Amino acid sequence: MTTQFNSFASMLTALPTDSACREYLEMKRWNGTSVCPHCGLVDANHYKLNVKGEFRGMYKCKSCKQRFTVTLGTMFEGSPISLRKWFIATYIFASHKKGISSHQLARDLGVTQKTAWFMLHRLRSAFTDNNEGQLGGGGNIVEADTTIVGGKVKNMSNKKRKEIFDRKRGSWDNKTHVAGMIERNGNIRFDVIDANETEGAIVKKHVDTNSLLMTDTAGTLRVIGKEFLYHGTVDHSKNEYVKEAIIHTNTIEGAFSMFDRMVVGTYHSITPKHMQAYCNELGFRYNSRKITDKVRFDMALVQTEGVKLNYNTLIAK
Ligand SMILES: [Zn+2]
What are the residue boundaries of the structural domains of the chain, listed by start? 1-70, 141-289
Q: For the domain bounded by 141-289, which CATH number is listed?
A: 3.30.420
**d(C-alpha 69, C-alpha 84), whole Å:** 16
Measured in Å, residue 43 CA sits from the centre of ligand 1 at: 10
Which residues, including other chains, have CB under 8 Å from residue 91's CB and lie 6 or more apart?
A: 8, 11, 293, 297
Measured in Å, residue 17 CA sits from the centre of ligand 1 at: 28
Question: In this predicted model, what pLDDT tens digit does every residue of 82-132 receive, in sequence order?
Answer: 999 999 999 999 888 888 999 999 999 999 999 999 999 888 888 776 667
Q: Are 248 and 145 in contact (CB under 8 A)?
A: no
CA distances from 32 to 13, 27, 48, 62, 90 (A): 22, 5, 14, 17, 22
More confident residue, 108 or 1: 108
Measured in Å, residue 262 CA sits from the centre of ligand 1 at: 43
Measured in Å, residue 65 CA sits from the centre of ligand 1 at: 6
- pLDDT value at residue 151: 58
**d(C-alpha 135, C-alpha 137), whole Å:** 7
- pLDDT value at residue 153: 61
The DSSP secondary-structure symbol of 266 reads I
